[in-house]
Structure 1
């Protein structure tokens, strides 16, 4: 094979990989029961209020190497908690989270705070 054919195949494979990543980051996909259970366990380890009901959860890839996860859940005392997690290295992964009684403008403030704390532009 000449180098042009090899290069063409590499580009095609990279395109398929990128499409696959975009499909996985679809916010309408929802979370599997295993992912929900894992999140509930992690929330407890991170010292967050206990999860009574998960409202939303989504994952997306950033720069093809880091995964950003966003969750909204309800606690036992009816507070709404919002969590942003950027997984760089599993040992150093820490969430940015906040809880409040109402949601008005809360998500926007929480995400702004998360982006500043995690050090990336959004």
Structure 2
């Protein structure tokens, strides 16, 4: 079972922020899209495999969803005791998953870096 991660941001996260966050964590990470762009994966490619789609996903993110107020965020994420001092609404919610182990640590680092770059927060459902 993967680790569940939620990214909350005051701006809609895009692929550029994801690519930049991945590069900041590990320049060898790449991005692939699945389901016609419905899911983006940060991937650690095997240098010996020439297939561009090959590799191990370290983080998978769904498309951002708009949340119009903090009440819904607090209801769905009771572990989040306070939202950052965002003055604008809506918020943007992104569900993500990362595997356990080394790959998951890299994925979690990418998610945290992306949240920082967007001025948001990263909530790991297992409490880490």
TM-score (norm 1): 0.29
TM-score (norm 2): 0.28
Which structure's CA Rg is the greater one?
1
RCO (CA 8 Å, sep 6+): is it higher in 1 or 2? Answer: 2
